Amino acid sequence: MDLFERLRTGAEADWNRYARHPFTDAMADGSLPEPAFRSYLVQDYLFLIEFSRAYALAVYKSPTLADMREAAAGMSAILDVEMDLHVKLCGAWGLSPGMLEQTPAEPATLAYTRYVLDTGMRGDLLALKVALAPCVIGYAEIATRLAARPGATSPANPYRVWIEEYAGSAYQEVAASARAHLERLAERYMTPAREAELLTIFREASRLEADFWEMGWRAGRT
């Protein structure tokens, strides 16, 4: 198993709470309440702004030029791909970029982004990339699972654009590259003593991702 698989296996309960949250299944069958998705989209836009800063930090933390280029590519994927998706989706729901940026960040948004940045500031590049992994790699796995559900990508499903974007080849390549880079970092910096440290980081990041889904899930029921 590569490092990502070992971490996912070691954090199975927290990972499943995140990767199989009811919010995701409700996107697949189209039953997710509109307020839940709107709330998620707005907060995820704010989340991505902070995540791009985490990739900027990864450039600073990178010991090699190749690592710097990997981090820069990740930041570009956020700024030029994911955020464009959110602008497009939100525009269809009557939400402009200005409205998005003026919305206060919810506690769940702040908790995860601050955790990732703090982990990166205190640790090395490997620790930072482990903190990022549940989001970067996890979204690709979640979308692939959802896309395989009957009717998930049919025109009748209002959430098909989100599913198709993250299940599509462009984002799948981003996730595969992130996973491969994580493994290369592990080959350089991994020691038996670090496995427990990195598992703690991965488990906490997965828990905070689940809380992010839960935030949107609750918004659809208030």
- pLDDT tens per residue across span 153-190: 999 999 999 999 899 998 899 899 999 999 999 999 99
For residue 145, what pLDDT band results from cuts at 50, 70 and 90? very high
**d(Cα 108, Cα 130) in Å, to the nearest integer?**
19
Q: Quick one: pLDDT at residue 82?
A: 78
* Average pLDDT score over residue span 90-111: 87
Taking residue 185's Cβ as centre, other Cβ atoms within 10 Å add up to 22
Radius of gyration of the chain measured on its C-alpha atoms: 17
DSSP letter (8 states) at residue 157: -
For residue 106, what pLDDT band results from cuts at 50, 70 and 90? very high
pTM metric for this prediction: 0.93
Residue-wise pLDDT for 9-27, tens only, equals 999 999 999 999 999 999 9
**d(Cα 170, Cα 214) in Å, to the nearest integer?**
27
CB 153 within 8 A of CB 160: yes
Rounded to the nearest 10°, the torsion over CA 96, 23, 50, 122 is: 170
Q: Which residues contact residue 66 at a Cβ distance below 8 angstroms, ignoring those fewer than 6 apart?
A: none
DSSP letter (8 states) at residue 204: H
Tell me the CATH class for 3-219.
mainly alpha
Q: Determine what percent of the chain is predicted with pLDDT higher than 70.
A: 99
**d(Cα 83, Cα 23) in Å, to the nearest integer?**
21
For residue 114, what pLDDT band results from cuts at 50, 70 and 90? very high
Give residue 127's identity as a one-letter amino acid code.
A
For residue 147, what pLDDT band results from cuts at 50, 70 and 90? very high
Q: Quick one: pLDDT at residue 148?
A: 97
Q: Quick one: pLDDT at residue 222?
A: 63
- List active site positions: 135, 209
User: What's the Cα-to-Cα distance from 215 to each of 37, 41, 53, 187, rounded to whole Å?
Assistant: 10, 11, 22, 36
Q: Quick one: pLDDT at residue 220?
A: 64
Residue-wise pLDDT for 47-85, tens only, equals 999 999 999 999 999 999 999 999 998 898 888 877 887
Q: Which residues contact residue 187 at a Cβ distance below 8 angstroms, ignoring those fewer than 6 apart?
A: none
Q: Quick one: pLDDT at residue 113?
A: 95
- What is the total residue count of the chain? 222
Rounded to the nearest 10°, the torsion over CA 164, 216, 19, 55 is: 80
Pick from 25, 8, 2, 72: nearest CA to 205: 8
DSSP 118-146: HHHHHS-HHHHHHHHHHHHHHHHHHHHHH
